[in-house]
Amino acid sequence: MKRLRKSFITGFQAGIEAIDANVAVIDRNWDIVLTNASWQEFGEENGYAPWQADGIQGGEFENYLEVLKKSILDGEDTALKAFIGINAVMNDEQDTFELEYPCHEPNGRKRWFRMDVMKVDEFDLVLLRHHNISRTHSAELALQATGNQLNQFFENTLEGIIIMGADGRILEANPRAAELLRYDAEDIISENRDGIFDILDENTLSLVDKMQKNGHQPGVARMKTKSGQHFTAELTATNFVDRNGELNTNIIFREINGHIVEGKALASEKKISESIINSLPGIVYMIGEDLKFVRWNRYLVRTTGYTDDELRGMTVLELFPEDVREVVAEKIKMVLEKGEAVLDADILTREGKVIPFRLTGVRFEINDKVYLIGTGLDMVENRKLLIRNNELLKLEREARKVAVVSRNEMARMIQYAPSPICFLEGKELRITIVNDAFRQIIGITKLTGRTMEDISGHIRGGAGIEEIRYVFESGETYTGNEMRMDIFNSASETFREYYLNVVLQPVKNLEGKVYGVFIEAQDVTGVAKSRIALQESLREKQVLIEEVHHRVKNNLAIITGLLELQIDQEEDERTVNQLRDNQLRIYSMAAIHEMLYHNEKLSEINFAEYIRIIVEKILLSVDTPGLKISWDTDLEPVVLSVNQAIPLAMILNELVTNACKHAFPDKKKGHLHIGLSENEGSVTLSVKDNGTGCDYLDDAMERKKLGATLIELLSAQLRSELELYVNGGTKVSIRFEKEHKK
């Protein structure tokens, strides 16, 4: 390096003093040989020792490389970038270098600077200029925060949003719009106006023409899904000019006949559950203990590529690559035993594609059968988001993706949305954006600038306020379905009961910190009240059915009592026996109604429990002097409907009674074995004795008696197969197909 002449230093010093920035000059050894006054003042204001050295007289120079090393050791990655850039300029690898970096004040106030580096070739020196760009950077951050807020609304609103060009092409659509129109997010962009509106409907065609001509146009239109199905939608269209000067139309819409469909669907639990699982943002499925699919949603079909018929014959393990199936099987076993488990695993599509999912399984029991209900979220989108964030960190100078519309335009869109919407910002949760639908519920016109504390008194018990604070403090989204709220309307001065579906979404800045909460509600009061009324009606019907079973049982008990009075007055032994037999027949039916009265389900009973009760009663009631009869069972817990339980109960009564009367004529002891089993929907009841072997069902005299006749008639009623075996005793088996519940 050439030795610096004093004349050069004087002239160069004057030059850098004229630069509106903090300027320093370093040599090839990284020593600072010159600075301007701004550099010195910046050091004094921020607690650094001002640099004072006389390069001409050989004073001690501060070394800029040592400054960078200290910052690198303190964890500042921008210092490493500065070293690499300055070194490249110093060694003629590049002409200039530029870097933006944070340099905050000691009191914590944030500042941003841009460093420009250039070479002074004549003396082999490097010039460093540091410009304060805090104001510009703050403006960029504010713009990025606004874009983030707009993206949060666009992606998470319960309303469908479509941006349409002047030629009718769809330029942008949010996930809710794609869902309502049954399109994939990518496919809907290729559609046009005629593809989503029923242009054959005159009212719809007229509204579409108006909304592309007028600045603001609300209305009702018939919209069309991808499959060609139509639905009625309430919409608001707003025209705006984009940054390229093109006239576009923003359309916010929601389905309005969905509430009617939901109201009718309350009568059918299956339809409701189908609708719920198909609307969830991920795969949902239910499997039995055999690991076969019982139910699934449309998302699983779309994701895996399998048809409904193919899934119906598959086990859940077939959705996973072979090398992880053992792990998945262990997790499923854990769920069935302990109740819940979570697993990150790849799902294998029909075409062999692997998709990463986060899977959650929960044990579920109904009708004594155990199932696993599983849900899964696609992790690809999360991974894309991480990659995108990393790219943003690497490209510090690039601005965030420009929002589709400005904050004011978004405020106009929200203003005319039919659902109540508002933005809350800051620790005080102050309202910054609010629409008319929200104002109408509260009954207050001027809400902007007020805090949630100001209006909490309008909500009885402060319902929802705690949830809003939770979202702000935790940064987690909250979704509440059919939240009941009593809201005071200032205009009418009355409380009104609402049932609302509520979405509370945290709004975060670029640093990931929550600075606000986005609120949207959907009024489902009519649907909720209809369902509550239906549930109350079902409870009333259940009480009525219980009372019917109770009265039938009591009436049968009265008949049995009347027969007992007749038995006491009857002298003929044969008549007495016949009356006793009829008493047992009536009791066999009464016992069914007694069990139904005490059962949770009023239309079916566990027939194994019934057998244990009725057989003991028969053995105590049948007159068998000098004969002691023991019995045992082999019973499976077979559940039968009332229609099958009553005839089978009467058959059982006849078989046990006949065995007691005819199977042991010369014995003092006898034994009965009663079996009940079910195999693939086929039920078998058997009564076996160790008596002399009595073929009373084939005996001509016995067939004429009432008991044998009842067995034949009741067997025919059950459409059963009746089999009789006589070999060292008598065994009678009744086999029939179980009636399936509807």
Domain boundary among 357, 378, 399: 378
Q: What are 439-473's pLDDT values in tens digits?
A: 887 777 788 888 877 777 678 777 778 888 888 88
Q: Is the domain of 125 the same as that of 169?
A: no
Q: Is the domain of 99 the same as that of 214?
A: no
Query: For residue 186, what pLDDT band results from cuts at 50, 70 and 90?
Result: confident
Q: What are 65-85's pLDDT values in tens digits?
A: 888 888 888 778 888 888 888
H runs (alpha helix) in 570-631: 573-598, 607-621
Question: Does residue 432 form part of some domain?
Answer: no
Q: Is the domain of 247 the same as that of 306?
A: no
Question: Does residue 434 form part of some domain?
Answer: no
Q: Return the amino acid letter for 275.
A: S
CATH code where residue 640 lies: 3.30.565.10
CATH code where residue 37 lies: 3.30.450.20
- What per-residue confidence (pLDDT) applies to 412? 72
Domain boundary among 198, 224, 256: 256
- What per-residue confidence (pLDDT) applies to 386? 57
Would you say residue 123 has pLDDT above 50? yes
Q: Is the domain of 276 the same as that of 189?
A: no
Comparing 350 with 596, which gets the higher pLDDT? 350
Q: Is the domain of 284 the same as that of 373?
A: yes
- What per-residue confidence (pLDDT) applies to 54? 44
Comparing 553 with 182, which gets the higher pLDDT? 182
Domain enclosing residue 37, as ranges: 6-132
- What per-residue confidence (pLDDT) applies to 1? 47
Question: Does residue 493 form part of some domain?
Answer: no
- What per-residue confidence (pLDDT) applies to 409? 66
- What per-residue confidence (pLDDT) applies to 135? 77
Question: Does residue 478 form part of some domain?
Answer: no
Q: What are 638-675's pLDDT values in tens digits?
A: 999 888 888 898 899 889 888 888 888 877 888 999 99
Q: Is the domain of 248 the same as that of 292?
A: no
Would you say residue 537 has pLDDT above 70? no
Q: Is the domain of 250 the same as that of 277?
A: no
Q: What mean pLDDT is reported for the chain?
A: 80
Question: Does residue 453 form part of some domain?
Answer: no
Count of structural domains, the chain: 4
Question: Does residue 502 form part of some domain?
Answer: no
Q: What are 213-245's pLDDT values in tens digits?
A: 877 889 999 999 998 899 999 999 888 888 788
Q: Is the domain of 739 the same as that of 607?
A: yes
* Pairing outcome for strands 669-679 and 628-635: parallel
Comparing 579 with 225, which gets the higher pLDDT? 225
Q: Is the domain of 322 the same as that of 355?
A: yes
Asked whether 29 and 125 are in contact (CB, 8 A), the reply is no
Task: Give the C-alpha separation, 525 to 539, whole Å.
Answer: 21
Asked whether 150 and 174 are in contact (CB, 8 A), the reply is no
Asked whether 22 and 36 are in contact (CB, 8 A), the reply is yes
- What per-residue confidence (pLDDT) applies to 277? 72
Task: Give the C-alpha separation, 350 to 144, whole Å.
Answer: 41
Question: What are all long-range contacts of 90-96, with beta carbons under 8 Å and residues at least 24 apart?
Answer: 90/28, 90/119, 90/126, 92/119, 95/119
Q: Is the domain of 45 the same as that of 98?
A: yes
Q: What are phi and psi of 427, to 5 degrees?
A: -60, -30
Comparing 462 with 25, which gets the higher pLDDT? 25
Question: Does residue 523 form part of some domain?
Answer: no
DSSP string across 8-47: HHHHHHHHHHTSSSEEEEE-TT-BEEEE-HHHHHHHHHTT
Strand-pair partners of 694? none
CA terminus-to-terminus distance, the chain? 97
Phi-psi region of 124 (alpha: psi -120 to 50; beta: other; left: phi over 0): left
Domain boundary among 345, 362, 378: 378
Q: Is the domain of 200 the same as that of 123?
A: no
3-state SS of the chain: helix, strand, coil percent to 5?
A: 45, 30, 25
Q: Is the domain of 245 the same as that of 275?
A: no
Q: Which three-class secondary structure state does DSSP give residue 66?
A: helix
Would you say residue 406 has pLDDT above 60? no
Question: Does residue 532 form part of some domain?
Answer: no
What is each CA distance from 500 to 32, 216, 491, 495, 560, in whole angstroms? Answer: 67, 28, 20, 15, 57
